[in-house]
Structure 1
Amino acid sequence: MQKIIPFLWFDNQAEEAANFYVSVFKNSKINNVTRYGDAGPGPKGTAMIVTFTLEGQDFYALNGGPMFKFTEAVSLYVNCETQEEVDKLWNTLISGGGAESQCGWLKDKYGLSWQIIPTALQRILGGPDPVKSGRAMQAMLKMQKLDIKALEAAYEGK
């Protein structure tokens, strides 16, 4: 059993969001849906807690009502091996009402923040030459969705 599990609070879209996330990522599944009963506080039969797994990471989602909202202070960081993976995840996660932000960050239609980050970024920004890494950083700061080729070109001074 995973010791630390992210617990996501939704107004009333926990089951919808979990199903969406499971459809986005490979090796993902809904594990269980616990529904409200006669005692409430939610409507009988609606999802109370949804447990799901994305790429081996377990999550809980709660329909807890409108008391709390997601903020950028917490985000889900996704390592992407290729530009194709970055593009696919980016486009899927912003679909249906999500919003682009800066430097590889976005909010999905449920308000949850994601970082869609190519694994190459650590190599590029953490390279041994601070001038090259600085150019790449300046390029990244102008981007919304990250572009690996543009970051590498900036690193090389092209």
Structure 2
Amino acid sequence: MSDPPKIAPFLWFNDNAEEAINHYTSIFKNSKKLNVTRYGEGAPAPAGSVMVASFELEGQTFIALNGGPMFQFNEAISFAVNCDTQDEIDELWKRLTEGGAPGQCGWLKDKFGLSWQIVPTILPELMQDQEKSGRVMQALMQMTKLDIQGLQQAYHGK
């Protein structure tokens, strides 16, 4: 067994951590479930349900807890996913918004309430030139799901 990462996002779910892990590992190609600890008899949750589990998405380790309804996700924390192609943006956007809600500027909430940013890897390059970055930002602010071609057209003043 390998050592755990030094730092890992810890996600507090009400009672659906296992469903969330299955959902996320079905979306990201480079993903896997790592360790699962289940509640035993007499625990504050049903015996056999996930207490805490770890999983990996694209090389990033996450920890999930079924901790009850006391805490909810909000936009103060989001996960940015850098995408090389529009097809990748489209697929992730489709899968992550199922049961969730689109937001502005490439942000979305998934069906568990977790916020994601689906971002083209070319965006930092398009934001380098101060004059052109203003046009890119104006175009970006009008988008929900980001469109690489639209951002590039804004960059070139079209």
- Shorter-chain TM-score range: over 0.9
Residue 96 of structure 2 is aligned to residue 115 of structure 1: no
- Letter paired with 1:119: T
Letter in 1 for 2:122: A
- How far, CA to CA, are the matches of 1:22 and 1:92 in structure 2? 11
The alpha carbon displacement at 1:84 in A equals 0.6
| Mapped partners of 2:27, 2:104: distance in 1 | 21
Q: Does 1:142 align with 2:145?
A: no
In the alignment, is residue 75 of structure 1 matched against residue 78 of structure 2?
yes
Aligned length: 155
2:57 alignment partner in structure 1? 54
Once the two structures are superposed, what CA deviation does each residue of 1:16-51 show, in whole Å capped at 9, x if it has no partner?
A: 000100000011011121110023111111111121
Inter-partner Cα distance in structure 2 for 1:38 and 1:92: 36
Q: Distance in 2 between matches of 1:112 and 1:27?
A: 20
Q: How far has the Cα of 1:100 moved from its partner?
A: 0.3
Taking every aligned residue pair, what percent have the same amino acid on both sides? Answer: 61
1:121-140 equivalences under 5 Å are 121-126=123-128, 128=129, 130-140=130-140
**TM norm structure 2:** 0.96
Q: How well do the aligned residues superpose, as a CA RMSD in angstroms?
A: 0.8
Q: Distance in 1 between matches of 2:118 and 2:102?
A: 11
**2:67 aligns with one of 64, 67, 82:** 64
The equivalent position to 1:12 in structure 2, one of 15, 20, 25, is: 15
Structure 1: runs of 5+ lacking an equivalent: none
Deviates more, 1:31-40 or 1:99-108: 31-40
Aligned-partner residue type, residue 93 of structure 1: L
Q: Where has structure 1 moved over 2 Å in runs of 4 or more?
A: none
TM-score (norm 1): 0.96
- CA distance in structure 2 between the aligned counterparts of 1:136 and 1:65, rounded to whole angstroms: 42
Alignment-mate amino acid for residue 143 of structure 1: M
Q: Measure the CA separation in 1 of the matches of 2:23 and 2:155.
A: 36
Q: What secondary structure sits across from 1:52 in the alignment? A: strand
* Aligned equivalents of 2:151, 2:13: Cα separation in 1: 36
